[in-house]
């Protein structure tokens, strides 16, 4: 299953919160996104399965190196889509533009965001195994 716009939104929210807070919780993500804590837990579980976050037993959330890399790649691609957003007949709010840009970004194959990381880590793991 590919990352959806919702998954990207959560990953970016975790990344943004991590820039200013050491401790990230499900509640802080729920508040930032204006969603319920149970919906945060579902997405966090998927991001954990993808190796992008670690959720400690006591509830603290941390981005892994893979999660940081992917969040940066997603942010870079999202900014690119927003910078070149096609004109539409109806005026869009900033939130509508962001939602559409996230949908376009999420339509890209996940390897666009993870491929370079996997190549770098694969090469690093191979060299550390050989050394």
> pTM of the entire structure?
0.84
Domain ranges of the chain: 5-66, 70-129
Top-confidence residue, 115 or 122: 115
Q: In Å, what is the CA distance from 83 to each residue of 20, 63, 125? A: 25, 27, 36
Give the model confidence (pLDDT) of 73-120 as tens digits: 999 999 999 999 988 899 999 999 999 999 999 999 888 888 888 888
Q: In Å, what is the CA distance from 117 to each residue of 38, 53, 73, 98, 124? A: 30, 15, 10, 25, 10
- Collapsing DSSP states into helix, strand and coil, what is residue 54? strand
- What span, in angstroms and rounded, lies between the C-alpha atoms of 68 and 123? 19
Give the model confidence (pLDDT) of 18-58 as tens digits: 888 877 888 889 988 999 988 888 899 999 998 999 988 77
CATH code at 5-66:
1.10.10.10
**DSSP single-letter state for residue 40:** H
């Amino acid at each position: 299953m590919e990352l959806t716009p919702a998954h990207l939104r959560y990953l970016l929210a975790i990344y943004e919160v991590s820039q200013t807070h050491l401790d990230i919780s499900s509640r802080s993500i729920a508040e930032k996104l204006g969603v319920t804590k149970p919906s945060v837990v579902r997405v966090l579980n998927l991001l954990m399965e993808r190796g992008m976050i670690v959720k400690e037993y006591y509830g603290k959330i941390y981005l892994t190196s893979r999660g940081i890399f992917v969040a940066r790649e997603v942010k870079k691609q999202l900014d690119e889509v927003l910078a070149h957003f096609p004109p539409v007949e109806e005026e869009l709010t900033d939130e509508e533009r962001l939602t559409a840009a996230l949908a376009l970004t999420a339509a890209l194959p996940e390897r666009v965001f993870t491929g370079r990381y996997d190549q770098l880590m694969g090469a690093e793991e191979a060299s550390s195994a050989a050394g």
